Amino acid sequence: MRRIHFKAGRPIGRWLAAIGLPFALATPVWAATPYYEGKTIETIIPFPVAGGSDIWIRTIAPYLDKRIPGVPKFNFRNIAGGRGIPGMMEFAVKAKPDGLMLLVSSATNYFPVLLGDKAAKYDFRQWKPLLVNPVGGVMYASPAAGIKRVEDIAKAKNLIYGGISAIGLDLIPLISFELLEMDARGVLGFRGRGEARIAFERGETNIDYQTTPAYNATVVPLIQEGKAIPLMSFGQLDDSGNIVRDPAVPDLPTVPEVYEKIKGKKPSGRFWETYKVFMPSAFAVQKILWVKAEAPAEVLGVFYAAADQLGKDKDFLTKTDKVLGGYPLLRGDRPSIKLSKSMPTPNASSGSGWARSIA
């Protein structure tokens, strides 16, 4: 898989800084005895064993502990169910600011806060990101729907999308349909994106999306056979927090680019505001390893340094390529891991209100 590179000069953008997280650059403070020497790091995973986030942290942890001075031991605790909320609350309530309990999060954990779920009482402003892994998403359609190029979506009729749930990543294509004023409807209840792709191949649906790793592996062959038409990516964030083309699929326009191409003007309105809130949490910063905000500077420093080292480790890059989706493992002070100011207070956003109405 082709490695995807991000510029390294400054934070990726304002987005993660918007949750109000004060991500000051941390300078490692080296003591005579390494901070983590003889210690165990408990890592909370609010998902089942063998899920995507579980595989992610269990894959990179053996490389991390070898690069963290003191060589700490990683223990993993899966707290599945409840849309990840119980696991998130376990960390929020019990973690101390000593760096000995960490948390893995994914887009599933951000959406309950954005959607105003009262059970999601955790506050991202009280935590700091140590490591971040982005991923991308690509939409494509069936030529049987009368689509030969992306502009054709403006006149295409009866587009059918197969999804899993309106409170997960499917929310991004559903928002995109509304923003672009497409004649598309979602059929939810599929058990996974793979099952939804199979439905597309059978002709049961005619528009779909896959994450970039799955797109490159399973959809590109369909495109080469003339069975699918690539449309657009959901995009990534640049250093200023703007939505830009995904480096994994640089030839594909982003959703806002398509809007401008079809409408002749830049996107605006509640669906655009909703898209700007939800897309980054779904893809641009999809997986994050967190620590309590008051953790010692040396805790932040050793993880940031480990990320820098792993970014140059050919063995790590080769063996984790599929798990990381071809994207780099970013240090938490690099992207503006500022999960948007509207994340803790979604009621302030009319767009989020629309999203809650369909969830």
Residues 145 and 128 in one domain: no
Residue 3 lies in a domain: no
**Range of lowest pLDDT (29-33, 89-93, 199-203, 263-267):** 29-33
The domain of 108 spans: 16-134+285-358
- Banded model confidence at residue 350, pLDDT cuts 50, 70, 90: very low
Please indicate, yes or no, whether residues 146 and 270 belong to a single structural domain of this protein. yes
- Give the length of the chain: 359
Residue 207 placed within a domain: yes
Residue where a domain stops, chosen among 236, 262, 280: 280
Does residue 5 lie in a domain region?
A: no
Check whether residue 181 and residue 243 sit in a common domain: yes
Same domain, 153 and 226: yes
Q: Which of 265, 280, 295 is the last residue of a domain?
A: 280
CA-closest candidate to residue 65, choices 78, 75, 51, 55: 75
DSSP string computed for 165-229: -TTTTTHHHHHHHHHTT-SEEEEE--S-HHHHHHHHHTTS-SEEEEEHHHIIIIIHHHHHTTS-E
Residues 327 and 230 in one domain: no
What's the number of CA atoms in the CB half-sphere (13 Å) around residue 156?
A: 26
Residue 356 is predicted with a pLDDT of 54
Q: What domain count does the chain have?
A: 2
Q: What is the pLDDT of residue 10?
A: 46
**With 50 as the cut, is the pLDDT of residue 344 above it?**
no
Q: Are both 148 and 213 inside the same structural domain? A: yes
Integer angstrom CA distances of residue 107 from 112, 116, 163: 9, 15, 16
Q: What is the pLDDT of residue 353?
A: 55
Co-location of 213 and 106 in the same domain: no
Is the confidence at residue 158, as pLDDT, over 70? yes
Would residue 8 count as lying in a domain? no
Answer left, alpha or beta for residue 9, where phi above 0 means left and psi between -120 and 50 means alpha.
Answer: alpha
The pLDDT mean for the chain works out to 88
| 249 and 316 part of one domain | no
Query: What CATH number is associated with residue 110?
Result: 3.40.190.150
Q: Read off the pLDDT of each residue in 59-87 and give the average, rounded to a whole number.
A: 95
Phi, psi at 129, each rounded to 5°: -80, 135
CATH number of the domain bearing residue 218: 3.40.190.10
Per the CB < 8 A criterion, the answer to whether 212 and 136 are in contact is yes
Say if residue 160 is in the same domain as residue 265. Answer: yes
Residue 332 φ then ψ, to 5°:
-70, -15
Question: Does residue 347 sit within a domain?
Answer: yes
Q: Does any domain span residue 4?
A: no
- Give the amino acid at 247: P
Q: How many Å apart are CA 323 and CA 325, to the nearest integer?
A: 5
Q: Is the pLDDT of residue 309 over 90?
A: yes
Query: What integer is the mean pLDDT of 254-277?
Result: 97
Tell me 257's DSSP state. Answer: H
User: Per-residue DSSP letters for 290-357?
Assistant: EEETT--HHHHHHHHHHHHHHTT-HHHHHHTHHHHTT---EETTTTT----TTTT-GGG-HHHHHHHH
> CB within 8 A of 269, min separation 6: which ones?
179
Query: Is residue 33 domain-resident?
Result: yes
Instruction: Characterize the bridge pairing of strands 287-292 and 229-233.
Output: unpaired
Q: Does residue 63 lie in a domain region?
A: yes
Mean pLDDT of 165-192: 95
Asked if residues 329 and 313 have their Cβ atoms less than 8 Å apart, the reply is no
Q: Domain boundary at 246, 280, 314, which?
A: 280
Chain mean position to CA 18: 16
The predicted pLDDT at position 345 comes to 42
DSSP three-state, residue 109: helix
- Give backbone dihedrals phi and psi of 128, rounded to 5 degrees, phi first: -125, 140
State pTM to two decimals.
0.80
Q: Identify whether residues 176 and 207 lie together within a single domain.
A: yes
**Does residue 20 contact residue 341 with C-beta atoms inside 8 Å?**
yes
Judgement on whether residues 263 and 141 belong to the same structural domain of the protein: yes
